[in-house]
């Protein structure tokens, strides 16, 4: 699959849930605001607080799908979704309802002639060995099929338990939250890209890494908590922008990049 655009916007880690109506409103406003010249929106995982299968519809998931489909069609924007560690089971069925295209970790997209490497970010946290082992097991196709065949109440209970364990773990071991620098350089080199964009860590920033191939830009998208974040790339400049979730002013955020 070849993805080519002249510009794009990137978001991740919204963690949408019924308990955060302020975040839901901010996201809907964001979709309505997206500038007319924007060609693509990439959602890089943890879009929902958790996901237990495309076959389990909620009022929130249906409303979000309708909003995505309506806005993308009216604005002629290409939507892409890359699963995160909280919504890795979100699949083609929901993406089709939302008018999104499902992409995977380490997808290369060409924007303005530049090769951008996209991932959620958890694969880069290689210092967390136990998580990487767990990730490999739970995302195995056989395990996934078994999980998705379980009754909804068991899947929901498991998702809530995993969410609780993750929160407690990172309170105890904050050093495991961030990416491994060698993993960043290795990933960029293996995919022949000098621009890497991801979320997951919630540590919003733009980093410059030096290696023998030259400089590598890495944009980390922040989570939508009290502040929200979006990144942009127009083929030349990479920029990261923040706004107030309670009273978002996206246009003003454009004028004050991080």
pLDDT on residue 222: 97
User: What's the burial of 136, exposed, middle or buried (CB within 10 Å: 0-12/13-18/19+)?
Assistant: exposed
pLDDT on residue 98: 98
CA 72 – CA 13 distance, rounded (Å): 20
Percent of the chain at pLDDT > 70 equals 97
Q: What does CATH list as the number for 4-254? A: 3.60.21.10
CA 217 – CA 223 distance, rounded (Å): 20
Q: Which residue has the tokens 């003003």?
A: 252
Q: What is the separation of C-alpha 51 from the centre of its chain, rounded to a whole number of angstroms? A: 14
Q: What is the mean pLDDT of residues 95-112?
A: 97
pLDDT on residue 170: 65
Ordered strands of the 107-111 beta sheet:
4-5, 107-111, 114-118, 195-198, 214-220, 205-211
Q: What CA dihedral angle connects 139, 145, 149 and 154, to 10 degrees?
A: -20
Can you give the residue ranges of every domain in the chain?
Answer: 4-254
Percent of the chain at pLDDT > 90 equals 84
pLDDT averaged over every residue in the chain: 93
CA 7 – CA 237 distance, rounded (Å): 10
Residues 26-65 pLDDT 10s: 999 999 999 999 999 999 999 999 999 999 999 999 999 9
**What single-letter DSSP state applies at residue 48?**
B
Of 26-35, 117-126, 177-186, 222-231, least confident by mean pLDDT is 177-186
* Better pLDDT: 173 or 77: 77
């Amino acid at each position: 699959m070849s993805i080519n655009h002249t510009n794009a916007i990137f978001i991740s880690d919204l963690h949408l849930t019924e308990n955060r109506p302020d975040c839901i409103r901010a996201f809907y406003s964001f979709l309505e605001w997206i500038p007319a010249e924007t060609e693509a929106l990439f959602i890089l995982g943890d879009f929902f607080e958790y996901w237990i299968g495309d076959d389990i519809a909620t009022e929130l998931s249906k409303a979000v799908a309708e909003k995505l489909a309506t806005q993308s069609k009216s604005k002629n924007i290409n939507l892409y979704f890359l699963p995160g560690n909280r919504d890795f089971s979100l699949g083609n069925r929901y993406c089709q309802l939302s008018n999104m295209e499902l992409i995977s970790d380490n997808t290369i997209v060409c924007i303005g002639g530049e090769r951008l490497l996209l991932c959620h970010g958890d694969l880069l946290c290689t210092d967390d060995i136990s998580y990487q082992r767990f990730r490999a097991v739970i995302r195995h196709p056989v395990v996934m099929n078994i999980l998705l065949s379980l009754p909804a109440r068991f899947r929901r209970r498991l998702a809530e338990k995993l969410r609780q364990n993750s929160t407690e773990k990172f309170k105890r071991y904050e050093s495991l939250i961030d990416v491994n620098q060698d993993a960043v350089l290795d990933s960029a080199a293996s995919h022949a890209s000098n621009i890497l964009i991801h979320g997951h860590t919630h540590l919003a920033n733009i980093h410059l890494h030096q290696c023998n191939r030259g400089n590598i830009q890495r944009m980390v998208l922040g989570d939508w908590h009290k502040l929200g974040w979006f990144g942009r790339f127009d083929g030349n400049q990479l920029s990261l922008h923040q706004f107030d979730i309670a009273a978002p002013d996206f246009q003003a955020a454009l004028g004050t990049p991080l």
